[in-house]
Chains A and B, each alone.
Chain A
């Protein structure tokens, strides 16, 4: 089974631009969650999607948004980029959401490294 695939692997953008990152989950996984990882703040939860619906959201400004498609693939978008948005963005998939998902490990991709200059 193919793992979680994130594209692109590296990205360089300029302040004020916007960016879209893509995540393809493991086949059969319906839940996709996104994380931002920086040296200072560690792994921070952005949001989680299940069956095209956002189920949980972390404490990030509205510039960060996401969506999930009917095939469970997900994208996240960051608008009006700031220098502080430079980070490794990780996507994880799991089988389900709700009580079942508590017993469902996350499978992470290797992330997209975003650099904002």
Chain B
């Protein structure tokens, strides 16, 4: 019930294309977080979602908290080479612990 299923595992796209990835869970919860990890670095928080149905943007990134509270998606519009990295969804459990999805490895070809 606490597993997060993140897809796709990897994406290879051309610069300028839009990207969409998503996360699902069999459990409902109150917070969805999206992180990006650059190679050799720690993950950095991109977007935090706190309410079902919430749609939040951060520059070219848009994320939504699903109405059922069991899923979320992250879209990246007009991708650029620096979007390369691993994108993680995460949910918060008791004790302020985060459970992460397995990540989506994004490769952007110039």
Same complex? no
